[in-house]
Amino acid sequence: MRNYRPILLFATLLLAGCAKNELPLFDEPFVYLETSTGSDNAVVGADMKAVVTYYIGISCAAFTDPIDVSFSITCGAGIQEGVDYEAVTNGTSVSFLPGIWRMPVRIRWLDHPIDETKDNTVTIALTGTNPGTFTLGYPGPAARGSKLVITKKNL
Amino acid sequence: MQKNRLMFLAAALAGVAALSVSCKEPEPEVVVNPPSLTAFSFKAADNAVLSEDYVATVNGKSIDVALPDVDKSALVATFTVAEGNIVKVNGTVQVSGKTANDFSSGATYVVSDANDANPVSYAVNVTLAPDKHPALLSFSFDVDKNAETLSKTLVGEINGTEIGVAVPQVADISALVATFTTGAGNKVTVNGVEQVSGVTVNDFTNPVDYLITNLDGSVNAMFSVTLNRQKGAWTAGPAYAAVPVHAGARILVNPADDVPYVAFKRHQPTEADARDPEKDEKMYAMKLVDGAWVSLGEAFSEKVGSDYDFSISPSGTPFIAYRNSAISPSVTTVMKYAGGAWSNVGDNVGTAATTKIHLHAIADDKVVVCQIMSNKTYVGVWDGASWTTGGIPALTGDPRPYEIRMAGDGANAYMFSINRAKALDGVNYGHNVMKFNGNEWSGLRQNYLREGATQTSIVGYDIAVAPDGTVYLVTGDNAEDNEKYHHRVEKYNADGTWSQVGSTIDYVLSSRCYSKIAVAPDGTPFVVYPNEGADPKTIEVVYFDSDTKQWSAPVSLQGSGTPYTGDPSLSFVFDSKGKGYVTWVEGSALVLYTFE
C-alpha cells in the first residue's frame, strides 16, 4: 500500500562516460518522464485504439506545499492530434500533493495509418516546475527523462 | 538507707535510658510525594496493534494522544508518576508498561500519593491520528449498486497504487458506482469531487484517479483505477500432487478427445528416505477427465536427464522425448502411448549426449525431434518405420545453438532456436524459425536480431501455431529500451513476412522469465509469464485485444495475495472450444489454472 517512492530518491545510475567506476548520487531535486516500465521512449502500433498512461515523477525531499510540473505534447509532421492521438489528461500541468511522487499523463491512441517516411513521433516534454528548483530530467548532460518520445509505427 | 538505694537505682536506670536514647539514629522523615503524572505513551513493543510509539501530551490534568485507527480495547500505556504514587484505573492498580485498558472512549487515570490519598484524576483523551499511508484498501463494483450494468460484483486487484478491474467485454462502464474502503479520517476525491463509497457515479471509460488525502492533509496518495475488458476469467483447477512433479511438466490438448494431457518427470525428493529409486526421475502421463487426473502411465520410461518434451499427433497419439540418462552417452529416447501402454519409437536419436530436446508429432504419427548434439542442431524424423537423422540443411551456417523450442500443427513442425553469442556473422544471439512440412525444411527467419537490439533475450521466448496455421513467436529484446528487455510478439504472414502484434508487452523480462505463448481458437494470442518483479511474485497472463490493438492489462492468476515461488517453466494451451490451461510446478505439485 505504501507509496513506493522514498522520501528522497538517491538514484544511483552509472552514467555513460563517467571516467571512474563511481556511482553518482543524485541529491538535487529533479522531475522526469517515463513509461510504466521506466523507459523514456516507446513504440505504439498505428492501429492501436487505447489509452496509454505515461508518468511524470519527482525526486526530492519530503515537501509540504504542492509542486506543479508543466509539460507539453507535440508531434512530428506525420502525426495529427485528433487523428492519430488525443490527450486524455486535461491541461498541460500536473500538481504533486505531499506524499505523491508520480502523476499520470494519458494519451488515447487512435487507429490511423501513418506514412513511414515522415516523423511519426509524439513527444511529451517537461517545460517547467513551480517552485522552479527542479532539474528537468535526470541530472546529467543527457537530461534523460526530460522528454518521452513515442513513435507510431505500422507494425 | 533503703530509700537512698532505690533512688540511686532509679537515677542509674534513668541515666542508662537517657544514654541509650541519645545513641539511637534519628527516625527518617517520611516524604509523601503529591500525586503527579508527567509522561504518558503507548509503545509499539507493548502493543501489537501499533507499528510505532505514540507519545501523549500531558497538559495539566489532560492527557492527549492521537492514535491510528486500531483496536483500542486493550492498550498498554507507559507512564511516569512521582515516586510512591499509586495509579488506578477504575479502581485497578496500574503498572506502567504492563496493565492493559480499554481506550476506545478514553480513560481516567487516578493518581494518589503513597498513602493512597489525595487522588488526582487525569483524563486520557484519544483522538484519531492522521493516516501516514493513506490508501484505498479495497475497491469493487458491487452488483447491488450497479444492477443495471453488471450481473456480478467485480473486485479490483490492487497492485501498489494501480487498481485493475476485469470487466466483461460488453459491459457499459460509462456510469459505475464504486464501493471502496480507506483508512479512518481519509478523504477520497476524484477530480476534486468527494467520493462516497457505494454512491458516487463515475465514468470509467478512461482510467480514473482517486486522490486519498489524510486527516490533516499532510499525506496524499493517488490510486488509478483501470477497467480491463476481459474475454473470460481464470480460475484454479485441480492441482496434482500424488507424486512429486519435476520442473518442465507440459500440458497439451489431445485433438482426438479435446481433453488436456500432461506429461512430467517424477521429481526425486531431496530427503533420501522419501525417494523411490524405481520411480524417481521417470516419466509419468495423465489426463484431466471431469475434473480429476487419470493416469496414463507411471514411471514408464528409463531415468530422464535434464530435458524432456511432449507432443500429441493429430490422430491423438501421445509422444514423449527425453534425454535417457540410463545409458551412455545420454541420447534421446522417444516413446508413444498406444493400446494403453507406452513403448519406444524405434532406436534412440543421437550418437552423442543430447540436450534441449523437443519434439512435434504431425500427421500419420510422423515425429520430428529437434535437439542439440555436439554443439549443433540435430534432428530426427520418424516416418513410422525408422528415424532419419542429421542436421537441417536449410539452416544457413549451422550456427551453434543455445536453446530450442518446437510447435506445429497437423501438417507442419516448426523449430525456433536461438544461436549462441555471435555464433554466426557476429550476430549476438540471433534466432531462427525453421519449418518442416513433412518432407523438407525451410527457413522463415534465420540468424535474426532486431535492429537496435543488443541481443535476442535468452529468456522469455516461445513459439506457437494458431488453429489457422499462423505461426506466432514471442521473444524479448531491448531494441526500444536500451536498459530493459521487453516481450515482443510477431506472427508470420501468408505473404512470407513477419509482422509485430501490437506494441511490446508492458512488462520487463527477468532472469527466470520462461514465458509461453498460446493462441485461442479465435486467433487471439495469449502470453503467460512469471512476473518476478511483482511483490509478491505472480504468474500473469496478457492477451492481444483485437479491438484496441493493444495487449491487455495483465491478470494475476493467483490473485494479489498468493506469491509464486515455483518452477518458472510454464505450460499453456487452449482446447478447441477456447478453454485455456496453464500449468507450472509449485513445491513439487502441479498447479493448474483454467480460462473460460
Report ipTM (2 d.p.): 0.83
Backbone angles phi, psi at A54, to 5 degrees: -115, 170
CA-CA distance, B236 to B582, in Å (whole number)? 10
Is B555:B540 a contact under the CB 8 Å cutoff?
A: yes
CA-CA distance, B386 to B571, in Å (whole number)? 30
Q: Poorest-confidence range of B352-366, B410-424, B525-539?
A: B525-539
CB contacts, 8 Å: B507 with chain A: 37
Question: Has residue B282 got a pLDDT over 70?
Answer: yes
Question: Has residue B338 got a pLDDT over 70?
Answer: yes
CATH 2.60.40.2340 fits B37-128, yes or no: yes
Q: What is the CA radius of gyration of chain A?
A: 17
Q: How far is CA B458 from CA B325, B398, B401, B476, B527, in A?
A: 26, 19, 11, 8, 17
Predicted pLDDT at B232: 82
> pLDDT category, B184, cuts 50, 70, 90?
very high
Predicted pLDDT at B506: 85
Is B43 exposed, middle or buried, given 0-12, 13-18 or 19+ CB atoms closer than 10 A? middle
- Percent of all residues in chain B with a pLDDT value above 90, rounded to a whole number: 80
Extract long-range pairs of B417-420: CB within 8 Å, 24+ residues apart: B417/B370, B417/B377, B418/B456, B418/B458, B418/B461, B419/B447
DSSP B480: S
CA distance A41 to chain B (A): 7
Predicted pLDDT at B28: 63
Beta strands in B196-317 (DSSP E): 201-202, 208-213, 220-230, 234-236, 250-254, 259-265, 283-289, 292-297, 304-312
Q: SS3 for B342-399, per residue?
A: EEECCCCECCCCEEEEEEEEEHHHEEEEEEEECCEEEEEEECCCCEEEECCCCCCCCC
Report the greatest alpha carbon distance in chain B.
155
CB contact under 8 A, A39 and B483: yes
User: Of A41, A103, A106, which is closest to B481 when you measure between CB atoms?
Assistant: A41
> Parallel, antiparallel, or unpaired for β A135-136 and A30-34?
parallel
Q: pLDDT of B99-117, one tens digit each?
A: 999 999 999 999 999 999 9
Least CA distance to B482: which residue of chain A?
A39
User: Of A36, A45, A102, which is closest to B506 when you measure between CB atoms?
Assistant: A36
Write down the residue that cell numbers 496509454 correspond to: A52
Predicted pLDDT at B19: 46
Least CA distance to A14: which residue of chain B?
B483
CA-CA distance, A106 to A90, in Å (whole number)? 9
Predicted pLDDT at B267: 95
pTM (whole model) above 0.90: no
- Which residues of B fall below an 8 Å CB-CB distance to A? 133-135, 137, 158, 160-161, 206-207, 209, 211, 213-214, 217-222, 224, 226, 480-481, 483-484, 486, 499-504, 506-508, 545, 547-550
Q: Poorest-confidence range of B27-31, B277-281, B414-418, B487-491?
A: B27-31
Question: Has residue B18 got a pLDDT over 80?
Answer: no
Least CA distance to B500: which residue of chain A?
A155
Q: How far is CA B114 from CA B29, B62, B108, B488, in A?
A: 14, 22, 19, 79
User: Of B133, B226, B547, which is closest to A2 when you measure between CB atoms?
Assistant: B133
CB contacts, 8 Å: A4 with chain B: 160-161
Predicted pLDDT at B560: 55
End-to-end alpha-carbon separation of chain B, Å?
130
Is the peptide bond prior to A131 cis by the omega test (within 30 degrees of 0)?
A: yes
| DSSP assignments along B117-173, one per residue | -S-EEEEEEEEEPPPSS--EEEEEE-GGGSTTT-SS-EEPEEETTEEEEEEETT---
Q: Which of B69, B157, B161, B546 to mutate to test the interface with A (most CBs of A within 10 A)?
A: B161
From its phi and psi, is residue B151 left (phi > 0), alpha (psi between -120 and 50) or beta?
A: alpha
Delimit the domains of chain A by residue range. Answer: 30-153
Least CA distance to A152: which residue of chain B?
B503
CB contact under 8 A, A48 and B160: no
Question: Has residue B357 got a pLDDT over 90?
Answer: yes
Predicted pLDDT at B564: 75
Question: Has residue B20 got a pLDDT over 90?
Answer: no
DSSP B207: -
Least CA distance to B501: which residue of chain A?
A155
- Of A149, A18, A79, A54, residue with least CA distance to B481: A149
Q: pLDDT of B195-248, one tens digit each?
A: 999 999 999 999 999 999 999 999 999 999 999 888 788 889 999 999 999 999
Average pLDDT over residues B525-533: 91
How many residues does this entry show for chain B? 596
Fold entry, domain B301-449: Neuraminidase (2.120.10)
Q: What is the CA radius of gyration of chain B?
A: 38
- Of A63, A66, A75, A62, residue with least CA distance to B211: A66
Predicted pLDDT at B172: 87
CA distance A67 to chain B (A): 13
More confident residue, B550 or B348: B348
CA-CA distance, B294 to B576, in Å (whole number)? 21
CA-CA distance, B308 to B262, in Å (whole number)? 12
CB contact under 8 A, A155 and B137: no
Predicted pLDDT at B561: 55
3-state secondary structure of A153: strand
- Which residues of A fall below an 8 Å CB-CB distance to B? 1-4, 35-39, 41-45, 47-53, 64, 88, 97-100, 102-104, 106, 108, 111, 155
CB contact under 8 A, A50 and B548: yes
User: Of B484, B545, B549, which is closest to A38 when you measure between CB atoms?
Assistant: B484
Q: pLDDT of B453-466, one tens digit each?
A: 999 999 999 999 99
Which one is the CATH code of A30-153: 2.30.30.100, 2.60.40.2030, 1.10.3720.10, 3.10.450.50?
2.60.40.2030
> pLDDT category, B400, cuts 50, 70, 90?
very high
Delimit the domains of chain B by residue range. Answer: 37-128, 136-230, 234-248+259-298+466-488+518-596, 301-449
Q: Which grid coordinates are listed for B172?
A: 457499459
Q: Which of A7, A12, A47, A48 to mutate to test the interface with B (most CBs of B within 10 A)?
A: A48
Is the peptide bond prior to B329 cis by the omega test (within 30 degrees of 0)?
A: yes
Predicted pLDDT at A23: 53
Backbone angles phi, psi at B9, to 5 degrees: -65, -45
Mean pLDDT of chain B: 92
Which residues are CB-contacts of B81 (< 8 A; sequence separation ≥ 6)?
Answer: B35, B36, B37, B38, B87, B96, B111
> What tens-digit pLDDT sequence spans chain A (155 residues)?
333 344 334 333 333 333 344 556 677 999 999 998 889 999 999 999 999 999 999 999 999 999 999 999 999 999 999 999 999 999 999 999 999 999 999 999 999 999 999 999 999 999 999 999 999 999 989 999 999 999 999 88
Backbone angles phi, psi at B498, to 5 degrees: -105, 140
Is B48 exposed, middle or buried, given 0-12, 13-18 or 19+ CB atoms closer than 10 A? exposed
Is the peptide bond prior to B68 cis by the omega test (within 30 degrees of 0)?
A: no
CB contact under 8 A, B549 and A38: no
Q: Which of B548, B551, B552 to mutate to test the interface with A (most CBs of A within 10 A)?
A: B548
- Give the count of Cβ contacts less than 8 A between chain A and B: 93
CB contact under 8 A, B503 and A45: yes
3-state secondary structure of B46: helix
Is B234:B559 a contact under the CB 8 Å cutoff?
A: no
CA-CA distance, B353 to B378, in Å (whole number)? 11
DSSP A132: T
CB contact under 8 A, A106 and B207: yes
CA distance B229 to chain A (A): 12
CA-CA distance, B479 to B466, in Å (whole number)? 26
CA-CA distance, B87 to B242, in Å (whole number)? 62
Write down the residue that cell numbers 497419439 correspond to: B317
Average pLDDT over residues B246-254: 95
Backbone angles phi, psi at B366, to 5 degrees: -75, 135
CB contacts, 8 Å: B221 with chain A: 3, 99-100
CA-CA distance, A145 to B447, in Å (whole number)? 34
CA distance A135 to chain B (A): 22
Is B201:B177 a contact under the CB 8 Å cutoff?
A: yes
Question: Has residue B21 got a pLDDT over 50?
Answer: no
Is B300:B318 a contact under the CB 8 Å cutoff?
A: no
Taking residue B435's Cβ as centre, other Cβ atoms within 10 Å add up to 17
Predicted pLDDT at B206: 94
CB contact under 8 A, A108 and B206: yes
**CATH code for the domain defined by B136-230:** 2.60.40.2340
